[in-house]
Amino acid sequence: MSNGTMSQLTPAPDAWNFAPDEALLGLSALSVRSVLGSIKAGMDPGSDRPVIPLGHGDPSAFPCFRTAPEAVEAVSAALHSGEHNSYPTGVGLEPARRSIARHLSLDLPYELSPDDVAKTARKLGIFVIADEVYAHLTFGKNRFVPMGVFGSVAPVLTLGSISKRWVVPGWRLGWIVTNDPNGVFRRTKLVESIKSYLDISCDPATFVQGAIPELLENTKQEFFNKTVDILRQTADICWEKLKGICGITCPSKPEGSMFVMVKLDLSCLQDIKDDMDFCCKLAKEESVVVLPGCAVGYKNWVRITFAIGPSSLEDGLDRLKSFCSRHSETKK
């Protein structure tokens, strides 16, 4: 159906007549984006202090996390070629799919004992969905191992993207990969079901898909090493500064990803009802935005991202400490 036909069939705004689903409204109100929006709405618009964004986890705003020049060049070349302005197929451009498959195959030559997750899945007769958007962003003693290496034990669906490793969340390109040498997905027609959904879902921008082969092939390892080194540095800063903050407990030092979950001790904090109240008051008083745990299923916890510039992180955590100290003074 053409856009013109669509516009003719679209009713006027007052013609819509339906009751919103309360359950869906409740879920949308607890999305990360909506919760952060509510917190920011209560901030003092007259404050001259820079806002420290420790809630969303978008490092691309900071120069130290700028994406690889090879990635920028790949997108530019794809756009200037004039070959990627059309609609793609629902499953994506063939060259992009081949490049992603080849790129991921480089992660597979591991010789490991079967993973407990894979063994449990096999025992239960189910498959594994592995969210590996943060693949390779590890900086502790444990290295990243792709779940796909255990596909012969239990079938694995791996979810990945360029958003985090290449620090380009706005490019909106991800993938689903099957690791299923025993053919379980083929027999159960799971892949066909996924493809049918992709025929009605929004596609990533075609020129970004067109850039994928060069982006994957040409990005230098030095770029990835630099990103991990900065995350290691900021994770250390986060861990050390959180130790001295009253009312907050960080259970373990982060060794991967871009976030850390910390537990609130409300008995130490005056006039703080819960995690949402904590985050709203922190934003209003200190211009520091963190995510309440209720948005991700952990009431009275707080999620903090350390994927920001080191100086901004130190400033934000110092303000967090001042806030907690101020709200705990009468409890000492």
**CATH class of the 29-63+223-331 domain in this structure:** alpha beta
Please check whether residue 66 is in contact with residue 230, taking contact to mean a CB–CB distance below 8 angstroms.
Answer: no
What pLDDT score does 23 carry?
Answer: 47
Average pLDDT rounded to a whole number, residues 117-142: 94
**Which pair of tokens denotes residue 88?**
């793609």
The confidence score (pLDDT) of residue 26 equals 53
Phi, psi of 138 (to 5 degrees): -120, 145
pLDDT per residue as tens digits for the range 147-169? 999 999 999 999 999 999 999 99
Percent of the chain with pLDDT over 90: 75
pLDDT digits (tens, 9 = 90+) for 33-62: 999 999 999 998 888 899 999 998 899 999
HSE (side-chain half, CA atoms, 13 Å) at 173 = 27
22 pLDDT more than 60: no
What are the Cα distances from residue 172, in Å, to 31, 40, 160, 217, 249?
18, 24, 11, 19, 34
Q: What is the pLDDT of residue 255?
A: 95
> Can you give the pLDDT at residue 104?
84
Tokens 């920028």, located at residue: 72
Per-residue pLDDT of 165-218, as tens digits, reads 999 999 999 999 999 999 999 999 999 999 998 888 778 999 999 999 999 999
C-alpha span between 139 and 255 (Å, rounded)? 5
Query: What pLDDT does 262 receive?
Result: 98
Report pLDDT digits (tens) over 293-326: 999 999 999 999 999 999 999 999 999 999 999 9
78-87 pLDDT per residue, tens: 999 999 999 8
CB atoms within 10 A of CB 267: 9
- As a whole number, the mean pLDDT across the chain is 88
Q: What is the CATH number of domain 69-219?
A: 3.40.640.10
| 154 backbone φψ class: left, alpha, beta (φ>0; ψ -120 to 50) | beta
CA geometry: angle at 228 spanning 224 and 229, to 5°? 115
- First-last CA distance in the chain: 68
Sheet holding 301-305, edge to edge: 248-249, 259-264, 301-305, 291-292
330 pLDDT tier (thresholds 50, 70, 90): low
Confidence at residue 12, expressed as pLDDT on a 0 to 100 scale:
35
Does the pLDDT of residue 112 top 90, yes or no? no
Q: Is 76 helix (H, G, I), strand (E, B) or coil?
A: helix
Q: Domain-by-domain residue ranges, the chain? A: 29-63+223-331, 69-219
322 CB-near residues (< 8 Å, 6+ apart): 286
